[in-house]
Structure 1
Amino acid sequence: MSRSGNRPLVADRRYKTPAGGGRAAPPSKPKLPAKPRKKRAPRRRGISGWIAAFFGLIVRIIWGFTWRVGAVVALVVGLATGYFYAQLPPLGDMLDARARGSVTLLDRDEKVFAWRGETFGGSTSAGTVSTYLHDAVVATEDKRYYWHYGISPRGIASAVRINMREGRGPLEGNGGSTITQQVAKLLCLGVPYDSATWKSEADYEADCRRGGLMRKIREMPYAFALETKYSKEEILTIYFNRAYLGAGARGFGAAAQRYFGKSAGDVNPAEAAMLAGLLKAPSTFAPTNNLKRAQDRAAVVLGLMREQGYVTQAAYDDAIASPATLSQAAEARAGGYFADWVMGEGPDFLTRDTTEDVIMRTTLDQRLQAAAEGALRDVFTAKLSEGSLAEAAVIVMSADGAVRAMVGGRNPAPPGSFNRATMAMRQTGSAFKPFVYAAAMDLGYTPADYVEDAPLTINVPGSGPYSPRNYTNKYLGLITLTKALEESVNTSAVRISEAVGRDVVRKVAEDFGIRSDLAAGPALALGASESSLLEMTGAYAGILNGGSSVRPYGLIDLRLQGDSAPLLGQDGGIGERVITEESAQYLTYMMHMVVEEGTGTRARLQGREAAGKTGTTSAARDAWFIGFTADYVAGVWMGYDDNTPLRGVTGGGLPAEIWHEVMLRVHEGLPARPLPMLVPEARLPPGQPYRDQPAQTYIEPQVQDQQMQPPPQDDLADRILQEVLGIFGGN
C-alpha cells in the first residue's frame, strides 16, 4: 500500500549517480571546525640565560672568524710551500755552497798540520757517517725528528715556556727549532749570498740565523717544502754537510778531520758526542778553544743518548771515562804562526781569497816545531818572574833557507795574530857584526889578523864626533879578529868596518838577505839598523852553506785539491854567492869560538860543534842569539812589544839559553857532525898576551874626512848623541 507523502522504506543511496550513468562519487567529508591554538605565554630569560646566549654568540663569531682565517692561512701556507718546493734544487746541489774555498797545509812529510778558510770534508751522507754521530745529532737537536712534518708544536711550546720562565721574550733564546727548520736557516730560506747586499759571508749567515716571529712564520712553509721534497735522511744529509762546527770546519766531515784526524764515519761515541755538542755554539764549545769545556758539553750529549736508548750503559760509561781528545794537528792550533806566514808565500787568489779548495805542501817539521815551542815555554817558566810581559820568537831552518819551525810569540795565538818572527823590525845590535867580519874575510883578512881595541873617535861630517864604547868599558889593546868577535868588541868592529868600507859591509849584508834600510854612518857596524828575525836567521844560513845568499821559504808547492800537477812551486832557497867559501869557513870558525870561549858560552852544545853570535841593543831593548850547527840554523829574539828595556838580559843570557834548549831538542837522535870551518894557521895560544905577538896584518881605518882622536871626557851632548844613534851595542 502506498503511503503518499511518506518517505520510502528503502535506504537512501549513499552516492549519487553521475549524469550519464555509472556510480556516483562519495560525498566529501564535512570539515570540522579548527580548534583554536593555544598561545604560549612568553618565556622569561634569567640572567644565566642571557649570559649563555651572549657567549654562544661570541663563540659563533669566533668560530666563524677562525675557520675562515684558518682557511686563508692554510691556503697561503700551501701556496708558499708550493713556491719553495718548486725552487728547491737536487740534493747534490745543496751540500756545499761556500762562496770561498779553503787551504789545507801539509808538512814536509805530507801530513796535515793546518787549515785556512772554511774547509769542506767532502760530501757526507746520513748513511755513511758513524751511527753514533747520526744518533747523537738526533738525540741532541730533535728527538721527535722522525715523528713530525718539519714543525714541532710541542717543541715550540716547550721553548716558549722555557724562555718565559727565564725572563726572556717568548721567541728569544731557545727557539724550539726542529732539524728541518735548522736546515732552512742554513739554506737561508733559499736566498743566495750576494756580496752587494752583505759585507761578508759572516754577515750573511748572521742575517740567516736571526730569530723573531716573522722569521718563524717564513720558516714554516720552507720546512714543509723540505719535508715534501726530500726524505728525512736526505734532510739530515744536508744538515751534516752544511752545519758550521767551529775552527773553520764546515760540515761534520771537515770537523772530524779538523779535531780528530779521521773521517766522520770512524768517530767513536765520545767523539760523536763532542761533534754533536758543537751545534749549540760552535766557537764556544770548539775543543781547540777549550778542550775541557768541549768534553763537558759532550758528557751532556752522551747523557741524552743514554736516556733515549742510543747507547748502552756500558758504552756510556766508557765514553765518560775516556773523553775525546784532539789530534796532533788540532793541538797545534791550526799551525799557528808558521801557517800564517806561509799563506803569504803564494798569491792571494790561491790562498787568502781562493774560491777553490787548495793543498799546500810546506817545509814545516812538526817534531822541530814542538821542540821549539816546548823549549821556549820551559825556559820562560823557569827563568822569568810571574807576570812578566817579555816576548820572544824562535826560527829553525835548514842551510838552504827551508823554514822547519817558527814561534812568533811565547804563547800560542789564533790565526792572524802578530808574528814577532816575521813582522817585528828590531835593532840587531852585535848580531850584525858577522857581516862586518864577512866583508873583511872576503877582502883577504884572516881570523888571525890583528885589530886595535882602544878608544876611538870618528868625526862624521854633518853629525859631529862619533865615539863607540865597549859594553864592558874596558879595552884589550891589539887583538886578533877572532878575539874581537869572541868578546863582541865594539871599537874593533867599527875599525874593521871603516877599514873595509861601510859600502862594502852594507853590500855584503844586503846580499845575504838583510832587506831593511841599513844605517849610513859608522854605527852600521854595531847593528844600529833594524831587521826581522826571519831575515837575520836566513842571513846566517848563508854563512853555514858556504857563503851563498838564502831566501827563507816555507812553500814547496801548491795545487788544487784533486789535481796532481802543481800550480805553483818553491819560491826561495839558495841564491847567488856573496863571499867565497873559504871566507865563510873562516867566519864559521870565528863564530864557533864565540860559543866556545866568548859571549855565547851558554849556547854551547855538549859533544856537538856550534857557532853563533849574541846581540844586545842600546839600553837592552832587544836581545838576540843566532847560530847554527852542521844541520840547522836557529835564531832567537827576546824583548818587549812596547820597547821597554829588558832588565838583566843580554844576548848571551836568556836568548842563548833558549837557543841551547831548542837545539838540544831539535838534534835528538841526530849524529854529531863537524862544522864546515877553516882554522887559521896563525891562531895565537890561549892566554898569551896579544900585544906581545907580531901582527900578520894590522887593521886601521883609513877613511876620508875622519880623524883619530881621544874620546871627549864627560861630554853630555856626546852621550846623548850616542844614545840616539844606538852606539852602545852590547854583546
Structure 2
Amino acid sequence: MAGKRKKQTRIEPSMGKRRARSGDLRASAKDRVAGGNRTAKRKRGKTSGGRRKSRSGSARRGFSGFVRRSFYWCCVIGLWLAIAVGGVVAFYGAKMPSATTWSVPDRPPNVRIVSTDGRTMANRGATGGEALPLSRMSPYIPQAVLAIEDRRFYSHFGVDPIGLARAMVSNVMAGRMVQGGSTLTQQLAKNLFLSPDRTIERKVQEVLLAAWLEHKFTKDQILEMYLNRVYFGSGAYGVEAASRRYFKKPARDVNLAQAALLAGLLKAPSRLSPARNPDGAEARAQIVLEAMREEGFVTDREITTAMTQPPTRAKSYWTGAENYGADLVMDRLEEVIGGKITTDLIVDTTIDFKLQQQAEQAIREAIDGNGRKLKVSQGALVSIDGSGAIRALVGGYDYSVSQFDRATKAKRQPGSAFKPFVYAAALEMGRTPDSVRNDAPIRIGKWTPSNYDDKYRGPVTLSEALSKSLNTVAAQLVMEAGAGSVAKTARRLGIESKLQTNASIALGTSEVTLTELTAAYAPFMNGGYKATPHIIRRVRTADGKVLYENTYDNPPRVLRPDIIAMMNSMLVRAVNEGTGRRAQLGGHQAAGKTGTSQAFRDALFVGYTSNLTTGVWFGNDDGKPTKNVTGGSIPAVAWQSFMEAAHSGRSSARLPGQYDVPSDPSRIAVPVTRPSQLPARRPEGEIASHSEPAGEWQQRVASEPTGSTRGPVPPADVGRHQPNETTSLLDIILGR
C-alpha cells in the first residue's frame, strides 16, 4: 500500500440541519415522527396542566382546612367558655337566695305636703318625691331616657348582647371605660338589690336579677319603677323629686329641654347636677336631644326650639319659703299620727300658697332694700287666722342658704311687743284705757327703766302710754298687777316659753318665739278665744284613709269681751297715732304693737285685722345689733306690705268690741306719782277686790255650753263698753 490508511471516525446520519452536540446520542424530539411529536406535546401539556391543578387544589384544601380548624377550635373554646361562664353563674347564683323569695323592696315612704288649694308645697322622705305612673309623667321623660340609656329596651330580654358588644369595642378602642353595657333593667336590679361595687359576683347577680325582673314585670312596669327610683343628683330620687328640685314644677309639666336635661343626669348625677354644674348638664342635654332625634322621638323643629332655651341653673338646695312650713309639718307629723311613717302620706296643711308667696316677697324686699344699710341680714314672718291656723310662714331670708326656722324655733326678746299682756292684766284688775299714770323717771329696786327716746311726758292715759310705748308706765302696771299675774295672763293667751317673773317682764326681756307671740295676739282679733297655732289640718294615706283631722273649732275663752274691746281700742290707736303708724292699712281696721329689744338687736311688729294676725321680726342670727332698727320701721313696713296684699279684694270688717275714750279731759283724773308713792308689789296672783278673780271667770267660761258661743265672737256679740270711772293716786295706792 502506498502508505498506511488513516483511521476513519464514524459519523451518524442526522435528519436535521443542526448536528447533535458531541456525546449526545439520543434523538431529539424534532428527529421523531410527527405522531410522536404530537404525543410528546400532549404529554407535556398534560404534565404541565396537572402540575397547575395540583397547586390550586392544594391551596383550596389548605384554606378550607384552616376554616375547618378555626371553626373547630372556636367551638372548643366557646364550649369551654360557656362551661366556665356557666360555672361562674352557678357558683354565684348558688350564693343567692331562692328566686321564689325575691321581691321588689318597698320604695321609702314619701310625705306629700299640700296647701289649702291642693298645690304640692314639698315632698319629704328619703326619695324627695312621690312615685308616679307613666301616665302622669311628661311623655318626653321616658323617651329621653330610652334614647340615651337603652334604645332596645322594648326588644331585649333584660340583657342586651348587641349593646354589650358595642360597649366592649368602644372601651377597647378608647383604652378606658367610655360606655356601659347595662340595660335599664340591669340598672334597676342594681339599684333595688345590689351594692355599687364593681365585681364579677355583683355583675352575675345583676344579670340574674334582670332576667327575673323581665319575667316578673312588664316593660312599662320596669320603666316606671326605674324612673321613680333612679338618682338624679342633689338629693332627688325619681323624676317627680328631680322635676321639683330643679324646675320647681311637677314631672307632668316638664318640657322637652328639661326632660333631656334629666335624662342626661343619669350618666353622672352628682357631677352633672345643674345645682353644681349647669354648663355640664346643658352640654349633656344636647347629646340627649340628638339621640332623641336619631330615634325619631322628636323633630328637628322641636329640637331647635329646645336648644334655644336658657340653661337651667338650680339652687344648691331646695328653695322657697314654703319649705319652712314643710319642715314644721315633719317635726309634728309623727306626734299627730301617733307613730312612725310607714307608708306614703298626704298632709293637708293650713298654708295658703298665695299668702305664702306674698309673705316671702315682703321679707325679701325689706332685706334687699334696706338690709345692708341697716345691718339686717335675716327676717321672719308668721300669719295665723282666728283659729290659730298658720296661713303663711317664712323662717328666714333664703331657705336654700339656711334651713333654720326663725319663726318657730328662734327665741328672741320681744321688747315692747310684750306690753299688751301687761295692759291686759291691768285691765282685768279694773283699769281702763283712760286711767292715768305719770310718765316720769322711776326706780324699782336697782332697776330704773327709761323710755326709748329718754323723754318723759308727764300724766298720760294708759291708751296713750301703750300707743307711744312708754316703758315707765308699763313698769308701773307690772308693779300694780304683779309680775306673776302678767306671766299667767301671757301664758293663758298663748305664750309657752318660760317667763321671768320680775319687773323687767314689762319690757319683754323674756325670750319667746315669733309664732307663740303672734298666736297670743290672736285672742284680741277673734273675740277672746285661745288660738293654738297649728299647720297640719288633715293626714291621709295615698288611698284616702284619714289618719288625723282637727279643725280647732272649739277653743276655750281666755279674755272677757270687755277686755277685748278695751285692748282693741288701745292697739288700734297704736297703729293710727303711735309707734305703728307705718302699718296702717287703707280700708281695713288694723291694730298692733311694735317691739325693739336692747341695743336694737331685734325689731318686731305684731298686728292684726279681723281676718289675720301677723308677726314680723328682723335682726341677725349672731345677735349683732342692727343700725337703730325699731319695730316701727322695716318690720311695720313689711307687715303692711304683706297684709295689704293679703287683704286685696277682701271686704273690710271692724275688730270685735268697741270702746270710746272720753273726749272730755276733765273726766280723767291726773295723779302725780313719785317713786316713793309706787304701790307695794302685790303678791303673786292677787288681784283687786272689785275685779272678777281670773280663776272664777275662767271656770265660768269653761262651764259654758259648747256651740256658737264658744267660737270666735262677732262684733255684735261683744257689746259696747263705756268707761264710768276715773283713776286717782288713791286708786293706785289701793290697787284699784
Which TM-score band (shorter chain)? 0.7 to 0.9
Partner of 1:666: 646
Using the alignment, how far apart are the partners of 1:678 and 1:621 within structure 2? 36
Q: Residues 11-30 of structure 1: matches in 2 within 5 Å?
A: none
The residue identity in structure 2 corresponding to 1:624 is L
Determine if contact 2:426/2:481 at 8 Å carries over to the other structure: yes
Determine if contact 2:352/2:391 at 8 Å carries over to the other structure: yes
Q: Deviations over 1:394-445 (max 9, x none)?
A: 011112211000000011238x921000000111111100101111122222
Partner of 1:644: 624
Partner of 2:729: none
Using the alignment, how far apart are the partners of 2:449 and 2:374 within structure 1? 36
Determine if contact 2:138/2:254 at 8 Å carries over to the other structure: yes
Q: Deviations over 1:197-243 (max 9, x none)?
A: xxxxxxxxxxx234456644553454455567667556434423432
Q: Residues 138-177 of structure 1: matches in 2 within 5 Å?
A: 138-143=146-151, 145=153, 146=155, 149-150=159-160, 152-157=163-168, 160=171, 170=176, 175-177=180-182
Using the alignment, how far apart are the partners of 2:305 and 2:633 within structure 1? 50
Residue of structure 2 aligned with 1:585, choices 565, 578, 586 = 565
Q: Residues 441-456 of structure 1: matches in 2 within 5 Å?
A: 441-456=427-442
Partner of 1:610: 590
Determine if contact 2:388/2:522 at 8 Å carries over to the other structure: yes
Residue of structure 1 aligned with 2:223, choices 224, 236, 242 = 236
1:588 deviates by 1.2
Using the alignment, how far apart are the partners of 2:469 and 2:430 within structure 1? 21
Compared CA separation, residues 633 and 283, structure 1 to 2 (3 A):
farther
Tell me, yes or no, if structure 1 residue 417 matches structure 2 residue 403: yes
Residue of structure 1 aligned with 2:86, choices 50, 64, 75 = 75
Question: Aligned with 1:518: secondary structure?
Answer: coil
Question: Aligned with 2:456: secondary structure?
Answer: coil
1:358 deviates by 1.2
The residue identity in structure 2 corresponding to 1:398 is D
Compared CA separation, residues 476 and 80, structure 1 to 2 (3 A):
same
Using the alignment, how far apart are the partners of 2:462 and 2:261 within structure 1? 63
1:651 deviates by 1.0
Partner of 2:193: 188
Compared CA separation, residues 348 and 283, structure 1 to 2 (3 A):
farther
Partner of 1:366: 353
Q: Residues 217-616 of structure 1: matches in 2 within 5 Å?
A: 218-223=205-210, 235-245=222-232, 250-252=237-239, 268-282=255-269, 298-321=285-308, 333=320, 335-347=322-334, 350=337, 353-385=340-372, 390-413=377-400, 417-459=403-445, 465-564=446-545, 566-570=546-550, 572=552, 575-616=555-596
Question: Aligned with 2:121: secondary structure?
Answer: strand
Q: Deviations over 1:151-193 (max 9, x none)?
A: 54345436746985xxxxx45x86553323312211224xxxx
Question: Aligned with 2:106: secondary structure?
Answer: coil
* Structure 1 gaps, min length 5: 1-58, 165-169, 190-207, 460-464, 686-691, 707-731
Compared CA separation, residues 135 and 643, structure 1 to 2 (3 A):
same
Partner of 2:679: 702
Question: Aligned with 1:347: secondary structure?
Answer: helix
Using the alignment, how far apart are the partners of 1:120 and 1:491 within structure 2? 55
Tell me, yes or no, if structure 1 residue 624 matches structure 2 residue 633: no
Using the alignment, how far apart are the partners of 1:89 and 1:324 within structure 2? 48
1:643 deviates by 0.9
Using the alignment, how far apart are the partners of 1:291 and 1:595 within structure 2? 49
Which shifted more, 225-234 or 301-310?
225-234
1:391 deviates by 0.8
- Higher share in helix: 2
1:654 deviates by 1.4
Compared CA separation, residues 352 and 635, structure 1 to 2 (3 A):
farther
The residue identity in structure 2 corresponding to 1:138 is L
Using the alignment, how far apart are the partners of 1:538 and 1:230 within structure 2? 53
Determine if contact 1:270/1:324 at 8 Å carries over to the other structure: no
Determine if contact 1:435/1:508 at 8 Å carries over to the other structure: yes
Query: What's the C-alpha RMSD, in Å, of the aligned pairs?
Result: 3.9
The residue identity in structure 2 corresponding to 1:552 is P
Determine if contact 2:319/2:398 at 8 Å carries over to the other structure: no
Determine if contact 2:160/2:182 at 8 Å carries over to the other structure: no
Using the alignment, how far apart are the partners of 2:219 and 2:678 within structure 1? 86
* Structure 2 gaps, min length 5: 1-69, 684-736
Tell me, yes or no, if structure 1 residue 112 matches structure 2 residue 120: yes
Determine if contact 1:363/1:555 at 8 Å carries over to the other structure: yes
Q: Deviations over 1:619-663 (max 9, x none)?
A: 111111110112111101111111111112111111111111111
Compared CA separation, residues 612 and 174, structure 1 to 2 (3 A):
farther
Compared CA separation, residues 401 and 444, structure 1 to 2 (3 A):
same
Using the alignment, how far apart are the partners of 1:698 and 1:670 within structure 2? 47
Using the alignment, how far apart are the partners of 1:248 and 1:473 within structure 2? 54
Tell me, yes or no, if structure 1 residue 178 matches structure 2 residue 186: no
1:144 deviates by 5.2
Tell me, yes or no, if structure 1 residue 103 matches structure 2 residue 90: no
Q: How many aligned positions are there?
A: 603
Using the alignment, how far apart are the partners of 2:619 and 2:129 within structure 1? 40
Residue of structure 2 aligned with 1:676, choices 642, 656, 669 = 656
Partner of 2:66: none
Question: Aligned with 1:563: secondary structure?
Answer: coil
Q: Deviations over 1:337-371 (max 9, x none)?
A: 01111223332595994111111111100010000
Using the alignment, how far apart are the partners of 2:261 and 2:621 within structure 1? 38
Determine if contact 1:186/1:243 at 8 Å carries over to the other structure: yes
Determine if contact 2:480/2:680 at 8 Å carries over to the other structure: yes
Question: Aligned with 1:458: secondary structure?
Answer: coil
Q: Deviations over 1:490-535 (max 9, x none)?
A: 1110001111222211110010111111112110111110000000
Using the alignment, how far apart are the partners of 2:632 and 2:603 within structure 1? 8
1:606 deviates by 2.6
Partner of 1:29: none
Question: What percent identity do the matched residue pairs reach?
Answer: 36
Q: Deviations over 1:265-288 (max 9, x none)?
A: x86534532442343355666678
TM-score using structure 1 length: 0.73
Question: Aligned with 1:634: secondary structure?
Answer: strand
Question: Aligned with 1:665: secondary structure?
Answer: helix
Using the alignment, how far apart are the partners of 1:90 and 1:272 within structure 2? 36
Using the alignment, how far apart are the partners of 2:557 and 2:173 within structure 1? 74
Determine if contact 1:85/1:225 at 8 Å carries over to the other structure: no
Determine if contact 2:569/2:658 at 8 Å carries over to the other structure: yes
Determine if contact 1:102/1:355 at 8 Å carries over to the other structure: no
